[in-house]
Chains A and B, each alone.
Chain A
Amino acid sequence: MEVEILCMWLGLTAYVMAGSFALIMGLVGRRGPGMGVLAMLVAGLLLHGAALGMRWERLGHGPFVNQFEILSSNLWSLTLVYAVVYWRLPRLRPLAMVVLPLLFIMGGWLLVVDPFHSEYPATYHTIWLYVHIGFGKVFLGAALVAAALGVVVLARMMAGSAPFAALPCDDALDGLAYRFMAVAFVFDTLMILAGAIWAQDAWGSYWSWDTLEVWSLINWLLIALALHLRPTLHISPRVGAVIGILVFGVAFVNFFGVPFLSRTMHRGVF
């Protein structure tokens, strides 16, 4: 277990180093964040992934049950999605100055959550768990990037464009955010669909109107609304940015807050 904890700490340290390096390079460097940040992110993913794997092996089940496991596995998957974006879309690398600090906060939160041994509920013995969670992780990752692009648009409005001068103009960022939002919509739809099938298996009902389901539906409708507002009302990049941040905010609360406050079947375990 000591090795597992050590791997997790080293992984989180690598994320912090990657984020700090990205901030420093973005704010004072001439060329902005480069491949060094990606190398640190990959090192963090490998170490953090090893810690998750050791916990999985030790407890006999995946990190999907209590708040520590859900936070840890989502921090890993969000970092993975972002690392892929960082690698494949070099133009967007300065976005690391927005994304990685958010991931720091999640890492800090992870360190204060009790990593107690969770019991795997009988309802989790299904392939639909992995399908539902897998789609959910891609959805949240895409929503994170869309929201980060929105943060850049708003930051430019409030603080000027200097820190993000290397990024494309607001209209281009808005278009990219729209694409990521579209990807988020596809995976959110699939996540809800897989969740409904799992709920039918677990509780005998596709939909129970419990708190988490309602907020998932609201999140889905919010993305549908955002995708319809662009072609109909031709909203400005700033309004689009606010909606993108709102979508991610609702999704974040839905992933990490509602299951631990809800008293319904969907509740998580503190």
Chain B
Amino acid sequence: MKPLPAPGSLLWTPWLIALLGLAAVGAAREMASPAALLGPPVALLGVNLLAAILANASFRAQPALLVFHVALLMAALLLGLGRLTYQQGWVELPIGEAFAGELSGIEQGWLHWGDLQRLVFVNEGFAREYGPDWRVKKKRTTLRWRDEEGVWRRSELGAGESLLLHGYRIDPTSNHGFAPVFEWSADPQATPIRGAVHFPSYPLYREQSHSWTIPGTDTAVLAMLLLEEAVIHPALGGVFPALPRHRLRVTAQGETRDLVPGDRFPFPGGGELRYVAMSFWMGYRVAYDWARYWLLAAFLVASGSLAWHYWRKFPS
């Protein structure tokens, strides 16, 4: 029986590359998590490469090729470490509201060490300009944020721009919507509780309704937004946020009322809901991944050294 090639043999490499290709297809078909599928072939390729560097003198004699492969190995390691320590999630903030240190849809690696409580930023407003067929033409988001010295600063983010804060990256998402502000008074003497209700992302969802439960009660409320004129014209476009004439059709405890800002809705079973004003929420994606810049550097080194290798190999 023929013995297996040594771990650093180039004979392994094509098979492992093919295995990595199969793992990529598996990841795309969501057969398992990308990390679980890609980890083993990448690790085996890493072992193969390290063994080749140690055992193969001709490999070491080609510095550009060596740098390319080492940079690829570093990139693979950084990807792995990055996945162990990343965190990401999203938050919806009404205009004027500060981030409270909590994210929705949070995902993070086993060894994440970031601290969301250090993030202090406020949604100061936003504008999305739409062309025909609701295509986004321009984006602008204004954030006020506190730096490491505790000084408040303001940033205006255009399309593709992010706020970098304490290692976190804050990106405005394409989701935003209406956020009517209500006050709830359980009885006339009680201090009203104020809060904003976030309707579904607009204009992604044209049907605007939302149900929630009054805090501290089991009273369910359903609100529908009835727009009396178009916010974004299908043929001409428009700008969001904009406040057209509208009513809120609110249903609670079997009774329905159409409300405009300032209207009150006394519930049959007690308590009163007041529609204060219409505000707007903006979605932000918050992500922590220290490895991304190192990863970029590793790939740039890999690309440069590969070009260098072939430049030397094929002189004319």
B residues in contact with A189, CB < 8 Å: 299, 302-303, 306
Contact A232 B10 (CB under 8 A): yes
Using a Cβ–Cβ cut-off of 8 Å, how many residues does chain B contribute to the interface with A?
Answer: 42
| B277-316 contacts to A (CB < 8 Å) | 285, 287, 292, 295-296, 299-300, 302-303, 306-307, 310, 313-314
Task: Tell me, yes or no, whether B224 is within 8 Å of chain A by CB.
Answer: no
Contact A123 B159 (CB under 8 A): yes
Q: How close is B174's CB to chain A, nearest CB, in angstroms?
A: 9
Chain B 120-163, CB-CB to A under 8 Å as 1, else 0, gives 00000000000111011111000000000000000000111110
**In the bound complex, what is the Cα–Cα distance between A183 and B24 (angstroms)?**
24
**In the bound complex, what is the Cα–Cα distance between A222 and B133 (angstroms)?**
40
Of B14, B307, B310, the residue contacting A232 (CB under 8 A) is B14
Q: A119-B133, A122-B139, A221-B21 are in contact. Are A233 and B28 (CB under 8 A)?
A: no
Task: Tell me, yes or no, whether B209 is within 8 Å of chain A by CB.
Answer: no
**In the bound complex, what is the Cα–Cα distance between A170 and B199 (angstroms)?**
67
Of B17, B34, B159, the residue contacting A209 (CB under 8 A) is B34
Contact A209 B27 (CB under 8 A): yes
Q: How close is A243's CB to chain B, nearest CB, in angstroms?
A: 11
Smallest CB-CB separation from B133: which chain A residue?
Answer: A119
Task: Tell me, yes or no, whether A24 is within 8 Å of chain B by CB.
Answer: no
Chain A 207-222, CB-CB to B under 8 Å as 1, else 0, gives 0010100100110011
Q: How close is B24's CB to chain A, nearest CB, in angstroms?
A: 5
Chain B 10-29, CB-CB to A under 8 Å as 1, else 0, gives 11011001101100110110
Q: Which residues of A contact B (CB under 8 A)?
A: 119-123, 125-126, 179, 182-183, 185-186, 189-190, 193, 197, 200-202, 204, 206, 209, 211, 214, 217-218, 221-222, 224-225, 228-229, 231-233
Q: List 28 A-B contacts (CB under 8 A).
A: A121-B136, A122-B139, A122-B159, A125-B158, A179-B310, A179-B314, A182-B310, A182-B314, A183-B310, A186-B307, A186-B310, A189-B303, A190-B303, A200-B292, A204-B171, A211-B28, A214-B24, A214-B25, A214-B27, A217-B21, A217-B24, A221-B17, A225-B18, A225-B21, A231-B10, A232-B10, A232-B13, A233-B14
Q: Return the 9 tightest CB-CB contacts between A and B, nearest first.
A: A201-B160, A214-B28, A122-B136, A232-B10, A221-B21, A119-B135, A182-B310, A204-B285, A204-B171
